[in-house]
Amino acid sequence: MISIAIMGFGTIGSGVFDVVNINREILKKHVGDEVQVKYVLDIREFPGQPVEKVLVNDVNRILEDPEITVVVETMGGVEPAYTFVKKALEAGKSVATSNKELVAAKGHELMAAAREKGVSFLFEASVGGGIPILRPLRTCLTADRIEEITGILNGTTNYILTKMGQEGTPFETALSEAQAMGFAERRPEADVEGHDACRKLAILLSMVLKERVDPADIYTEGITKITAVDFVCARALGMEIKLLADAEIHEDAVFAMVSPFLVKPDNPLYAVRDVFNGILVHGNMVDDLLFYGRGAGKEATASAVVGDVVEMLQHPAGTVYDGWGEEKRVLSDITRDRHSFLIRVPDQEAEAVPRAFPGAEAVKAALEGEAAFVTEVLSEQEFSERAEKLSILGRIRVHA
């Protein structure tokens, strides 16, 4: 019998508890022994629930038990998760986490601690929920130079945009639905302002570059300024509005941003709806790859966490993944990045648009009191300079 511990019995932690119990036989086949949850750390009480028997509220019970070689962290947030994970690694225990905030902020330190002790720190569930994306990047795709990553990396915002676009659901209603289904972060700004997608993009880039990418260096815009009129324009153009996490990796420059984009129908991400995530990876040898699946939610995310647990139990000696270094990668200034833009202006300014943007084409949509155009492709800096000449009511980047 192999005993593991779970720190944090929220949506994902309780999912891990369920996966270990429901798929007991499957896990036994992969690990070669039965896996049981010996401790669940939480300050709350869960009277009458099966977890009650293994509930502890002192982390030292886990840290001081030599039977525990693998710990799951599903508390979320940086503290106290960081302190507990660091202590677990220093105590010679491997750790699997779903905590993207922790990995993006402190991953490099925790990987160093794991290397030092010859244990593992894995975090498949931190990006794309149940989608296997980090393991392919760190194992199967190491022969490729990854040149582009474009992802729908946040299930909550994709759910909101889908509901707003397809059913005309108001933003707040769609957000409440996502919260009720256990997709959203405790602080919904993390989802709707793009911070969660930004952290996930930082993790993906760090893994590909093997250098630390700081989420604070990634230009990030959320979906709170998207309106019903934007969806009317998107429909007229035959495109979908998606919150994309986009990175282009050149020899001498790395551009990264999180922003709402108009996505064309020939892009596989066009059809990624509801809570689903999609991640397009382009390698110089393998060409295009698409990873698709449930990007949030209890069972799917817990499945990814337990997959990490299995991998760590299969390799009890040594560090499974050595991670990325401490040194920070400097990202390129996005003012040099190039896109075309959907812009909306008051009706009376429609005539001024071609003077500011000579290549702009009018969007054929019946809008009240305003007009919409798609500009030519130009740099972010050129766009900002020319847009200053107009009273822009809204603008959305168009993905190439």
What is the SS3 assignment for 40?
A: strand
Nearer to ligand HSE, 308 or 337 (CB): 308
184 lies in the site for ligand HSE, by CB under 6 A: yes
Residue 274 Cβ vs ligand HSE, minimum distance, rounded to whole Å: 11
On whether the CB atoms of residues 340 and 225 are closer than 8 A, the answer is no
155, 165, 222, 307: which one binds ligand HSE (CB under 6 A) = 155
Nearer to ligand HSE, 298 or 386 (CB): 298
220 lies in the site for ligand HSE, by CB under 6 A: no
Count the alpha carbons within 13 Å of 280 in the hemisphere toward its beta carbon.
20
Known active-site residue 93: no
Stretch that binds ligand HSE, among 106-114, 177-185, 309-317, 350-358 (CB under 6 A): 177-185
Residue 156 Cβ vs ligand HSE, minimum distance, rounded to whole Å: 3
Applying the rule CB under 6 A, the residues between 192 and 211 that interact with ligand HSE are 196
Tell me how far CA of residue 316 lies from CA of 30, 94, 120, 391, in angstroms. 14, 9, 9, 61
Nearer to ligand HSE, 237 or 269 (CB): 269
Contacts of 345 (CB under 8 A, 6+ apart): 352, 353, 370, 371, 372, 373, 390, 391, 392, 393
Applying the rule CB under 6 A, the residues between 79 and 138 that interact with ligand HSE are 129
Of 71, 67, 68, 92, which is closest to residue 81 (Cα–Cα)? 71
Q: Which residue has 């990045």 as its token pair?
A: 337
On whether the CB atoms of residues 297 and 155 are closer than 8 A, the answer is yes
11 lies in the site for ligand HSE, by CB under 6 A: no
Residue 61 Cβ vs ligand HSE, minimum distance, rounded to whole Å: 28
Q: Indicate the helix (H) or strand (E) that contains 245.
A: strand 240-249
| Catalytic residue (one of 38, 93, 100, 200) | 200
DSSP states of 232-282:
HHHHHHT-EEEEEEEEEE-SS-EEEEEEEEEE-TTSGGGG--TTEEEEEEE
Nearer to ligand HSE, 281 or 304 (CB): 304
42, 101, 124, 185: which one binds ligand HSE (CB under 6 A) = 185
Q: Indicate the helix (H) or strand (E) that contains 112.
A: helix 100-117
Stretch that binds ligand HSE, among 60-68, 77-85, 111-119, 180-188 (CB under 6 A): 180-188
CA dist 242 and 261 (Å) reads: 5
Of 192, 193, 153, which is closest to residue 176 (Cα–Cα)? 192
CA dist 242 and 250 (Å) reads: 24
Applying the rule CB under 6 A, the residues between 284 and 313 that interact with ligand HSE are 295-296
82, 121, 123, 183: which one binds ligand HSE (CB under 6 A) = 183
CA dist 10 and 113 (Å) reads: 26
Stretch that binds ligand HSE, among 179-187, 233-241, 330-338, 370-378 (CB under 6 A): 179-187
73, 124, 191, 193: which one binds ligand HSE (CB under 6 A) = 191
97, 120, 154, 259: which one binds ligand HSE (CB under 6 A) = 154
**Amino acid, res. 186:** R
CB-nearest residue to ligand HSE: 156
CA dist 189 and 167 (Å) reads: 23
Nearer to ligand HSE, 129 or 283 (CB): 129
Active site residues: 200
Q: Which residues bind to ligand HSE, rule: CB under 6 A? A: 129, 154-156, 183-185, 191, 196, 295-296
